[in-house]
Chain A
């Protein structure tokens, strides 16, 4: 047997900064993501200030941030704010937190591996993400400021004519580098899951978190190169004036702005699933663990996620119903989009089946997981209106779209990330987070979140376009000013609630209660090893004997769970059959 510590790096640089240990890289990604989450959230507050009090000076920070306009946000500043808010949240907050941090942390531990398949590549993946984030952050400070063409950066808006600044070019470069980082991670994740599972861990013994992470990585490996191609052309258009996306920029030739939209959404629609799949997987596991039941329809859940991954590749056209697609093509995309509801419903109903008659423990991770079920339901239902051509033509580019994708992405994914943090924090740092502060954080996040995003659906239904500097200047939209102020106040409460979270994290890191190896009485492999796990994770690679959620099964007497690593009792025919104990999950 190998000595577990034989390759333990000792220097500060190799242990903390340029570490190849997936657990350290996961923490680096986590803090990178949290940092950008704070930045992106602050930008959101500025956006909401402008919409609630158009043209008024921003209190406290306005005099410092917007000197030229006496503290008020200018129209150009406003476009920059929503562009950078979207970009930062999607590519630099959610992606590092869910895919980077929890993908890195959970995959090797949950499948019983010592590390990722390619630890050096893993390190490069993080540092590429850090460079990419630095480029994006630096773009705030160049002449002309950061990008202003929206997070989608459609040409000709993102072409050198309308947005000549260096910031827009840095935006494209930063996303390109981020794509390289993501691709390195994706190759690592898929290879690790395929090749490094512990003995006995078949694909259908894997926790659903690993399913979600693996499927998201497959989508990344396939579709990140598509946006890389688009960004490459965008950069060449901007730097070398090539004109791929600009019609008539050169004599005798015609570029095509729609080409960018096709490439962007061929990637962009799978990207939605790249972000949500890890959250789905995590929630599926958490619901089972905190309901003390096996996940209802485990195989169906895993296969629904797989079906959704396959189908997500052929529906991107529903983002382009209004660009003048052929009606036949539009109808095809609509039908395919509607078909995705079927595997999604299987997944959703399985969640409800999992908590049905379970012995629910309302620990903080479970609160957030249940909240994901609610907000994802809201996001899914509002998606139907946007997937159908007739309603989409009316709702396109309104606040309804903003409300919808914030319910699916911001709300589901943010709450899913928080559930993951509350769940794995004891394993990552060896300390428990305060459950009392967590409950305060939960309610002051979940309720304001809905007060922020639900009114957007109403406003969009009432015809309010997204991205306008002062939509309530129009007479028919003036009625929405009070609603915008409600959203603004709720957003401030939502922001302040995150201070509670930050306090909890900092306090618990220093003074939190020491975490046992398995504080949640969970069944997956990461809870077998110490909290935090040693270098190379396991003293001895575990052998997997059972499925990922063996809770409250008939015959369990002392405790209501059996870890995946616990061997099955050899059945001796002479023994009398064990009397079934009454369990909360009556058969």
Chain B
């Protein structure tokens, strides 16, 4: 019938396309969340009598680079898994870099003071905190995929887990890029 009509309606197993659609919808919603927070940030910042960049730029830059490297490592892990090779090492590196990023963010927060210390700091904590919560969930998703991906070659289901978690991970990388530019450079 139509091109949109499903190909395999009687399959009880989750197929790749369905999983992809579900994950894309979730990422779309998450994008709206970060968009709303950025909009709030813009509305609050434009009303301030004065503005100064709120945080240690050097540490934040190191953090950002760590997260960028984690995405590269994850892309490598995904390619290896797809080719039937062992993907455990780059995947472990991805998670380690993710944890390092979270630790680094904690370091940035330490230098910011308590939430009540100022509205600008509050806004930073809102944006970076929401992002960190999502990244923690993404680390958990990778950890959930890890045991099945460790075998080479891994199953189709394991590959799908890895692919979905990777979508989430790369999305969070892109979201952090937007947040970093907004918070530290603009």
Q: Are A and B co-members of a single complex?
A: yes
CA distance A229 to B28 in the complex (A): 15
A222–B28 contact, CB under 8 A? yes
Q: Contacts A187-B26, A236-B122, A244-B126 given: A195-B10 contact, CB under 8 Å?
A: no
A221–B25 contact, CB under 8 A? yes
A259–B6 contact, CB under 8 A? no
List of A residues within 8 angstroms of B182 by Cβ: none
**A244 partner, pick from B25, B28, B123, beta carbons under 8 A:** B123
Is B12 at the interface (CB under 8 A from chain A)?
yes
Residue interface mask A220-259, B partner, CB < 8 A = 1 = 0111111011101100100011111000001111111001
B119–A250 contact, CB under 8 A? yes
Which chain A residues (185-208) contact chain B, with CB distance < 8 Å?
186-188, 190-191, 194-203
B40–A233 contact, CB under 8 A? yes
B1–A256 contact, CB under 8 A? no
Q: Which of B30-38, B80-88, B135-143 contacts A (4 or more CB under 8 A)?
A: B30-38
**A263 partner, pick from B36, B49, B118, beta carbons under 8 A:** B36
* Residue of B9, B29, B118, B125 with most partner-chain A CB within 10 A: B9
List of B residues within 8 angstroms of A253 by Cβ: 48, 118-120
List of B residues within 8 angstroms of A241 by Cβ: 115-116
CA distance A491 to B17 in the complex (A): 51
A183–B2 contact, CB under 8 A? no
CA distance A262 to B50 in the complex (A): 24
B22–A541 contact, CB under 8 A? no
Q: How large is the interface on B (under 10, 10 to 19, 20 to 34, 35 or more residues)?
A: 35 or more
A243–B18 contact, CB under 8 A? no
List of B residues within 8 angstroms of A223 by Cβ: 32
Min CB gap A463→B, angstroms: 34
Q: Contacts A244-B44, A254-B48, A541-B9 given: A202-B4 contact, CB under 8 Å?
A: yes
**A236 partner, pick from B25, B29, B115, B118, beta carbons under 8 A:** B115
Min CB gap A241→B, angstroms: 5
CA distance A188 to B9 in the complex (A): 16
List of B residues within 8 angstroms of A2 by Cβ: 10, 12
CA distance A2 to B8 in the complex (A): 13
Is A549 at the interface (CB under 8 A from chain B)?
no
List of A residues within 8 angstroms of B1 by Cβ: 199-202, 544
B40–A244 contact, CB under 8 A? yes
Is A559 at the interface (CB under 8 A from chain B)?
no
A225–B5 contact, CB under 8 A? no
Q: Contacts A7-B12, A197-B6, A202-B1 given: A225-B118 contact, CB under 8 Å?
A: no
Q: Which of A113-121, A129-137, A344-352 contacts B (4 or more CB under 8 A)?
A: A113-121
Is A112 at the interface (CB under 8 A from chain B)?
yes
Is B47 at the interface (CB under 8 A from chain A)?
yes
B28–A198 contact, CB under 8 A? no
Closest residue of chain A to B26, judged by CB? A187
**B30 partner, pick from A121, A225, A226, A536, beta carbons under 8 A:** A225
Closest residue of chain B to A218, judged by CB? B25
Min CB gap A251→B, angstroms: 8
CA distance A544 to B125 in the complex (A): 53
Residue interface mask A253-272, B partner, CB < 8 A = 1 = 11110010011001000000
**A259 partner, pick from B17, B33, B44, B48, beta carbons under 8 A:** B44
Q: Contacts A195-B6, A255-B119, A259-B44 given: A222-B32 contact, CB under 8 Å?
A: yes
B9–A196 contact, CB under 8 A? yes
Min CB gap B53→A, angstroms: 15
A256–B22 contact, CB under 8 A? no
B22–A198 contact, CB under 8 A? no
Min CB gap A197→B, angstroms: 5
Is B185 at the interface (CB under 8 A from chain A)?
no
A252–B21 contact, CB under 8 A? no
List of A residues within 8 angstroms of B36 by Cβ: 225-226, 228-230, 263, 266
A-B pairs, 10 with minimum CB distance: A253-B119, A225-B33, A229-B36, A202-B2, A242-B122, A225-B32, A240-B115, A195-B18, A191-B22, A187-B25
**13 CB-based A-B contacts, threshold 8 Å:** A118-B22, A187-B29, A195-B17, A196-B6, A196-B9, A197-B4, A222-B29, A240-B116, A241-B115, A243-B116, A254-B44, A259-B43, A263-B36
